[in-house]
A = this chain, B = another copy of it.
Amino acid sequence: MVPFMIRISRMTDYATVLLAALARDPEACLSAPALAERTRIGMPTVSKVLKILQRGGLVRSTRGLHGGYSLARPAQTISAAAILDALEGPVAVTDCSAGQGHCEIETTCGVGQAWQRVNLAIRRSLYDVSLAQLAGLDTQNFALRGFEQQLNPAIGGRAAAALRRDKSADA
C-alpha cells in the first residue's frame, strides 16, 4: 500500500475502536470491563481511554453500580477531527509557529504560514469523516454534514468555509 504520513497514536486507535463498539450499541450503557472484553484491549487501558473521551465530551458516563458509557451523540455527528482533538489535543505544527524565541532568521519565517494552509486542509478532510464511517456502519459518505452543522454551528458542516474564514482572519 501507499506510504502514509500521518501517524495516529495507539491511544487514538483504541479510542476509535471503543467508540465504534459503542456506536454499534447506541442505546446500551456498556461498562469498561464489557468494552474491554469486546475489543480485546486491556482493561486498564480501556478505562483510561474512556476517561479521556468522557472529558472530551464524546461519551456520556453513568457512575455507580451498573454504570458504564454510551456515545454522547449519534455516531454520524462525531467527526474524526473530534476524536483526534480529544485524544491528541491541540498540537502546534512547528515550534516556530507556537514559540516566540529563536526565530530571528530573515525571511525564513514565512515558513509557518504555508504549514497553516496544509493543516487547514487536513482539518477539513478530518471533519468529513464520521465515526459511523470509521466504524463501517455508514457506507454513505459524508453523512455528518447536516448533523454537525445543526448541533454545533461553530464547527459543523460548514467547517471548511469557517476554517477558510479563520485563515484569512488570522493572516
Task: Name A's B-contacting residues (CB within 8 A).
Answer: 1-8, 10, 13, 16-17, 20-21, 24, 38-40, 80-81, 84-85, 88-98, 102, 104-105, 107-108, 110-111, 113-115, 117-123, 125-126, 128-129, 133-136, 141-142, 145, 160, 163, 166-167, 170-171
Tell me if B40 and A102 are in contact (CB < 8 A).
yes
Tell me if A8 and B111 are in contact (CB < 8 A).
no
Tell me if A136 and B110 are in contact (CB < 8 A).
yes
- Please report the C-alpha to C-alpha distance between residue A119 and residue B93 in the assembled complex, in whole angstroms: 17
- Minimal beta-carbon separation of A170 from chain B (angstroms): 4
Query: Majority SS of interface residues in chain A?
Result: helix
Give the chain B neighbours of A17 by CB distance below 8 A. Answer: 105, 108, 111
Since A110-B134, A121-B122, A125-B125 are in contact, a sample of 20 more A-B pairs with Cβ atoms closer than 8 Å, ordered by chain A residue number, is A1-B97, A1-B98, A2-B170, A3-B85, A3-B91, A4-B90, A4-B92, A5-B88, A5-B122, A6-B93, A7-B88, A13-B94, A17-B108, A17-B111, A80-B115, A114-B129, A115-B134, A118-B129, A142-B171, A160-B167
